[in-house]
Amino acid sequence: MPAMETAEFDTELSLFKYDNLEQLPPEYRDFDEAERTRRIEGALDALGDDVVILGHNYQRREIVEHADFVGDSYQLSKEAAAADAEYVVFGGVTFMAESADIITDDDQTVVLPSMEASCPMAGMAEALQVDAAWAELTAATDADVVPVTYMNSYADLKAFCAEHGGLVCTSSNAHRAFEYALDEGDKVLFLPDKHLGENTAHRLGLEEEIAEWDPWDAASADAAAVIDNDVILWDGYCQVHERFSPSHVEQVRADHEDARVVVHPECRREVVEAADVVGSTATIRETVAEADPGETWAIGTEVHLTRHLQRWHPEVNVVPLCGEACMDCNAMRQIDPNYLAWVLEELAAGRERNVVEVAPEEKELARVALDRMLEV
């Protein structure tokens, strides 16, 4: 379907393009860990305060052990802006690097070690799809619809939301964003994670007002029926978190007496209902950090964070919610530690690789969406 003719910016003109992907040079592909660590540390010594490394909670040990900051995506972007380093090397995925470029100063350069690290959920809400859906949904009602996008989305979607009176949210403040949208308008369109949207609607007592828009089968969608509801959820999801089921909660309680369960709000509604604690990766980390020695906590999120928590808090019995079947994030996996060695050595030699840069107009609009989030 064609994009809206009234769009104020052309997302295809973004300076951030995936066709600038550079493959890891052959000489970097066979490092053992000792050699890789030596070369990373050598490059960091040469760069000094000119570089800051960000490691997302879902990254593997070999990345986070070199990170200056480890956390969730928005927190890391704020740390990068405060650090004021010339180079920001983001051990995360593409939308995170974009967010860092939006938040940091113009004289800071954001580098993503591998441009193949592209979040599948963010890719479930492409700009052309959203434009087309927006046209159909808004044509079916005289009510004011306010779009809200999860932080786990690309810069063009953040800009789209700003352009149409909406904002960005994190998993921690999604309920505030919903309240803002429903105060400013009559209905909220939430993208791209339907599970976070459903869990947020339940938190606000709006569970009877939910409808789902399937962008993959828009021909059969009834816009008039969908828009009759106050909360419209985009049919996107995180493949890691959707894997969890109530049976996993039942099994972990059977296997571990007195086990408690903490899950991410990107999980299915029935998993959230079965858990003891629900929250962001920061909440999950805090929950384990504050646990008493000997307590058992089952972790319902990406498995690398579970492994980090096992190392960081050996006094707590930390187990993955779905055992050996728990998944890592395919996108995060693309940040091979050898890529980190490569981009750092290139920076030390005065060469920039895999720079992420959001187009100026798109960046300005995305900042508006972020500023609205901070206001609420």
> Which pLDDT score is estimated for 14?
36
Cβ atoms 291, 277 nearer than 8 A: no
Q: How many CB atoms lie within 10 A of CB 304?
A: 21
What dihedral do alpha carbons 126, 97, 262, 296 form, nearest 10°?
140
Hey, what are 274's tokens? 């079965």
Backbone torsion region of residue 258, taken as left when φ is above 0, otherwise alpha when ψ lies between -120 and 50, otherwise beta = left
pLDDT reading at 244 higher than 50: yes
Q: Grade residue 12 by pLDDT with cuts at 50, 70 and 90.
A: very low
- Rounded CA separation 265/238 (Å): 11
DSSP of 8-66 = SS-GGG-S--GGG--PPPGGGTT--HHHHHHHHHHHHHHHGGGEEEEEETTS-HHHHTT
Average pLDDT score over residue span 277-297: 98
Cβ atoms 232, 187 nearer than 8 A: yes
- The pLDDT tens digits for 102-161 are 999 999 999 999 999 999 999 999 888 999 999 999 999 999 999 999 999 999 999 999
Nearest to 112 by CA among 73, 140, 139, 141: 73
pLDDT reading at 83 higher than 60: yes
> Which pLDDT score is estimated for 220?
61
> Which pLDDT score is estimated for 128?
87
Average pLDDT score over residue span 17-29: 76
Going through 27-161 in order, the beta strands assigned E by DSSP cover 51-56, 69-71, 87-91, 109-111, 145-150
Going through the chain in order, the beta strands assigned E by DSSP cover 51-56, 69-71, 87-91, 109-111, 145-150, 167-169, 187-191, 210-213, 231-234, 260-263, 277-278, 296-300, 317-320, 355-356
> Which pLDDT score is estimated for 330?
87
- The pLDDT tens digits for 303-348 are 999 999 999 999 999 999 998 878 889 899 899 999 999 999 999 9
Whose tokens are 């104020």? That residue is: 8
Cβ atoms 174, 181 nearer than 8 A: no
Task: Lowest mean pLDDT of 6-20, 183-197, 357-371, name the range.
Answer: 6-20
Average pLDDT score over residue span 263-279: 98
